[in-house]
Amino acid sequence: MVIIGAGPAGLYGAYYAGFRGMSVALVDSLPEPGGQVAALYPEKEIFDIAGLPAVKGQQLVDALVTQAQEADPVFLLGESATDLRSGPESVEVVTDAGTRVRARAALLTGGIGTFTPRELPVGEAYLGRGLRYFVRRLDDLADQDVVVVGGGDSALDWALALEPISRSVTLVHRRPQFRAHERSVTTLRASSVRVLTPFEVARISGEPHLDEVLVRAVTGGEELRLPATAVVAALGFVADLGPMMKWGLDLSKRHILVDRTMRTNLPRVFAAGDITDYEGKVRLISVGFGEAAAAVNNLAPLVDPSLGTVPGHSSDRA
């Protein structure tokens, strides 16, 4: 089988396909496996993985890669799937590198598709000179004055993670309410992070690297000058399914519609993880793992008619 998307759901799907005796190819446009978690949140702690009270994003990805290696998958990294053709007997995936993969079935685990950060309008000139849109290594911001911009989960997570290692952390959000998990908001309120709401960034200045951020109150116009050597703009991302939009899939608001077996409307094509939609859908990594296992077990008879949808127990494996 071929899996498009090497994020958590795709990696777990690769392991499970190997467990069911299939050969697997994994295609992903990113140069490394792990998808959005590895690219954007490697230092972020994740708390809702069964059996792991807390695990950093990169640690989870590393463990998933090790697990997937049991299937001896072919990794086609740095290649975007540009075309998918499915028929009654097989599927074929073509990448932008000209690679053609023929398989008995396909599993789409593309997460949110390709993603680009929403820009901080006043700060683009400082990208690479103090402005960043995500934090790959927390230690890069040790002993710095950091301004985090945003009010979602990522903004609060980074502010709280940087609090013990940065010289100072200020969180700036243009609304009085946050869009983050209640637990994170409560922790933020009890922390030493300076919270400015409703404020927005009016100007970033400094040469050659930034050294000050001017913030302005959304109402009233009060201005504050903040010493800063780093700005983390966590304003969300714009997602795009890209070529998948043209493959003939049934879609709903940039998500692929599936039935309860994780089957799409295309023959031999299944989907799992954040990219899917159905009644009652909950977008969690833990749910994606279960969907990947369900998809692989339901497509197994298409890959090998001698296989059933009931997998048996992994503990019975020699």
Q: Is 44 helix (H, G, I), strand (E, B) or coil?
A: coil
The DSSP line for 273-318 is STTEE-TT----HHHHHHHHHHHHHHHHHHH-TT--S----GGG--
Residue with tokens 């709401």: 197
Q: Is 274 annotated as a binding residue?
A: yes
- 9 to 65, 83, 101, 131, 198: CA distances (angstroms): 11, 21, 20, 31, 37
Return the ∠ at Cα 47 (arms to 171 and 297), rounded to 5°: 130
Q: Indicate if the alpha-carbon torsion angle 174, 177, 179, 181 is positive or negative.
A: positive
Tell whether 41 is in a known binding site: yes
So what's the pLDDT on residue 317? 65
Sign of CA dihedral 215, 218, 219, 221: positive
Contact between 46 and 60 under an 8 Å Cβ cutoff? The reply is: yes
- pLDDT, position 115: 66
Residue 314 confidence (pLDDT): 78
CA distance 21 to 304: 9
Domains by residue range for the chain, with CATH: 2-115+237-316 (3.50.50.60), 119-233 (3.50.50.60)
Q: How far apart are CA 276 and CA 227, in angstroms?
A: 43
| Residue 269 parent element (H or E) | strand 269-271
pLDDT (tens, 9 = 90+) of the chain, 318 residues, equals 999 999 999 999 999 999 999 999 999 988 889 988 887 778 788 888 999 999 999 999 999 999 999 999 999 998 999 999 999 999 999 999 999 999 999 999 987 766 678 889 888 889 889 999 888 788 999 999 999 999 998 899 899 999 999 999 999 999 999 998 899 999 999 999 999 999 999 999 999 889 999 999 999 999 999 999 999 999 987 767 788 889 999 999 889 999 999 999 999 999 999 999 999 999 999 999 999 999 999 999 999 999 888 887 777 765
Q: What angle do helix axes 182-189 and 153-162 make, rounded to 10 degrees?
A: 40
Q: Torsions phi, psi of 316, nearest 5?
A: -85, -10
* Order of all β-strands in the sheet with 251-252: 251-252, 255-257, 276-277
278 a known binding residue?
no
The answer to whether 202 is annotated as binding is no
The predicted structure's pLDDT at residue 308? 85
Residues 6+ apart with CB under 8 A from 120: 131, 149, 201, 231, 233, 235
Residue 140 annotated as binding site: no
Is 177 annotated to bind a ligand? Reply is no
Q: Tell me the whole-structure pTM to 2 decimals.
A: 0.77
Q: What angle do CA 47, 184, 64 make, to 5 degrees?
A: 20
Q: Is 54 known as a binding-site position?
A: no
